[in-house]
């Protein structure tokens, strides 16, 4: 199983979560929300082959943490994965919208200047704006839109640009999310938990809750669970090969 967007460092006992992921032989992308969190979070995954750590600056935190951007840019040459980054157009984050855009544009340019990276991108209520920035900075690398919740026509644009998508149980529980997932090219989809932020059955989502997303995707794709899992693993290999 694959959890391509998870905040391992934000669980009360991250070591236990990591051990459980390892026991289940899961592939995990551990995303961070601030550049300062990167070294500690990346240390958590030391010795775990299937867990990778991404350096990020969450758009919702840009108001307070913009000054940490140089730290992120400094570490970019040694990190292959970047996230969580992006834009958030919800009213509460609009007071620092211009800072969000400045940080995101700078990040994309910097990714391009080091040869491209694999990015886990947040686009809530800002799908158009995120896609425009990605379009104007084509060398930034492989873009994985996490928990995409835009309109069908934004999704089509993302597909045309060549984006990837990570989808989780929470997204696939609703009709709107299912409809979007059904329109995504099967070879561009990965699973994610977005734990512990996302909730699952009334408690924080755990990485292995992606199992439910695999079941949903299998049903959307009309495949067996085993074939859906094969498809997802082959997608992960494709993504990593695309941005080698």
For the record, the structure tokens of 73 come out as 């840019």
| C-beta separation of 32 from 84 below 8 A | yes
* 129 forms part of the interface with Mn ion (CB under 5 A): no
- Residue 81 or 228: the one with the smaller Cβ distance to Mn ion is 81
In this structure, the number of other CB atoms found within 10 A of the CB of residue 204 comes to 17
Shortest CB 192 distance to Mn ion, Å: 8
- Residue 167 or 228: the one with the smaller Cβ distance to Mn ion is 167
- Residue 10 or 114: the one with the smaller Cβ distance to Mn ion is 10
Q: Which of residues 69-88 bind Mn ion (CB under 5 A)?
A: 84
| CA–CA gap between residue 23 and residue 5 (Å, rounded) | 19
- Residue 200 or 228: the one with the smaller Cβ distance to Mn ion is 200
Shortest CB 122 distance to Mn ion, Å: 7
For the record, the structure tokens of 44 come out as 């958590």
Cis, peptide link before residue 154, omega less than 30° from 0: no
- Residue 30 or 110: the one with the smaller Cβ distance to Mn ion is 30
Number of residues this chain uses to bind Mn ion (CB under 5 A): 2
- Scanning 90-98, 124-132, 160-168, 193-201 for contacts with Mn ion by CB under 5 A, the matching segment is 193-201
Instruction: Taking the CA atoms of 186, 57, 240 and 158 in sequence, report the sign of the dihedral they define.
Output: positive
Question: What are the start-end ranges of the H helices in the chain?
Answer: 14-23, 38-44, 62-65, 69-75, 97-113, 127-135, 152-161, 169-173, 175-183, 210-221, 225-242
- Residue 171 or 180: the one with the smaller Cβ distance to Mn ion is 171
| C-beta separation of 239 from 190 below 8 A | yes
**What counts of helices (H) and strands (E) characterise the chain?**
11, 10
- Residue 84 or 154: the one with the smaller Cβ distance to Mn ion is 84
Q: Which residue is nearest to Mn ion (CB)?
A: 194
Shortest CB 226 distance to Mn ion, Å: 28
Shortest CB 244 distance to Mn ion, Å: 25
Shortest CB 184 distance to Mn ion, Å: 19
Q: Which of 127, 154, 194, 216 binds Mn ion (CB under 5 A)?
A: 194
Angle of CA points 124, 129, 130, to nearest 5°: 65
- Scanning 128-136, 137-145, 187-195, 209-217 for contacts with Mn ion by CB under 5 A, the matching segment is 187-195
Residues that bind Mn ion (CB under 5 A): 84, 194
């Amino acid at each position: 199983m694959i959890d391509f967007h998870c905040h391992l460092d934000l669980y009360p006992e991250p070591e236990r979560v990591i051990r459980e992921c390892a026991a289940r032989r899961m592939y995990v992308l551990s995303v961070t929300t601030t550049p300062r969190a990167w070294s500690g979070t990346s240390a958590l995954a030391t010795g775990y082959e299937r867990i990778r750590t991404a350096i990020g600056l969450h758009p919702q935190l840009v108001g307070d943490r913009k000054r940490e951007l140089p730290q992120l840019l400094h570490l970019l040459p040694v990190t292959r994965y970047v996230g969580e980054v992006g834009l958030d157009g919800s009213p509460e984050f609009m007071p620092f919208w211009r800072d969000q855009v400045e940080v995101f544009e700078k990040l994309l340019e910097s990714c391009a200047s080091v040869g491209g990276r694999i990015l886990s991108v947040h686009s809530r209520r800002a799908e158009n704006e995120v896609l425009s920035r990605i379009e104007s900075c084509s060398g930034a690398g492989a873009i994985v839109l996490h928990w995409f919740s835009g309109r069908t026509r934004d999704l089509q644009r993302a597909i045309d640009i060549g984006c990837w998508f990570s989808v989780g149980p929470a997204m696939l529980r609703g009709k709107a999310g299912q409809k979007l997932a059904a329109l995504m090219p099967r070879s561009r989809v990965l699973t994610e938990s977005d734990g512990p932020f996302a909730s699952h059955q009334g408690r924080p989502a755990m990485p292995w809750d992606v199992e439910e997303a695999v079941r949903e995707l299998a049903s959307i794709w009309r495949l067996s669970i085993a074939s859906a899992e094969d498809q997802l693993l082959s997608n992960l290999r494709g993504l990593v090969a695309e941005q080698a």
